[in-house]
Amino acid sequence: MSGSESTAARVPGTEPADVVWPILLVEDDDADAYLVSELLDEVAAPVRLTRVRTVAEAVRRSEQVACVLLDLGLPDSEGLSALRRLLAVEAGAPVVVLTGMVDEYRGAQAVAAGAQDYLVKGQVDGRDLVRAVSHAIERKRADTAAQALRESELQADERARLERGLLPRPLYDDRRLRHAARYRPGRQQSLLGGDFYDMVSTPDGTVHVLPGDVVGPALG
């Protein structure tokens, strides 16, 4: 199977009829590439398989697919370097590593380094392969959603900290005076509005109130 060849099929009952996963196979060995394609065809897997032979090609395409099946023994990589290069691609696809029987320990190392899973060539069937791909895609989605939630929470915390920093610290000595403020946030989930003010008393007993606006025209 050449780099331009692909296969598409579906497993009845496992995916909606219009869902086909674009899968990238990174494999320089023709026999192993053919075996992967045959395993997927045997179970009518919901995939569109594209094969490349080098890590350099895989890096260019990894953002365009749902999952990468990666052989570690490639001509332009050594050890786990291929995996690390793919994982370094921003918004890149999840990676399932394919290893030979004598390199099974490298599969465990690959998972520890960030791969979603590893499979040993010659010891898996088509359903094992589809299951690993499906789980890798779902875990990647869950990880992405969790990261987005964490970033959103951090941004909300930072906004709250900045908004609290706008609260006035009145400087006056007259104990007969008290101040009260009411805010109406300009957007949802905000603690305070964009407007701010401060209060300062001068030696002659005058209390000055200075209103302002973080963005837009100043209040007055």
- At 65, give phi and psi (nearest 5°): -125, 165
| 8, 20 Cβ separation under 8 angstroms | yes
174: its two tokens: 């007259």
pLDDT digits 0-9 by tens, 85-96: 999 998 889 999
Contact 81, 72 (CB under 8 A): no
Tell me: the pLDDT tens digits for 25-76?
999 999 999 999 999 999 998 899 999 999 999 999 998 999 999 998 898 8
Cα atoms found within 13 Å of the Cα of residue 18, Cβ hemisphere only: 0
β-bridge mates for residue 22, sequence order: 48
- pTM comes to 0.63
- Lowest-confidence segment of 27-41, 116-130, 168-182, 184-198 by average pLDDT: 184-198
Angle at the Cα of 153 (from 151 to 158), degrees rounded to 5?
95
Structural domains of the chain, with CATH: 21-146 (3.40.50.2300), 168-215 (no CATH)
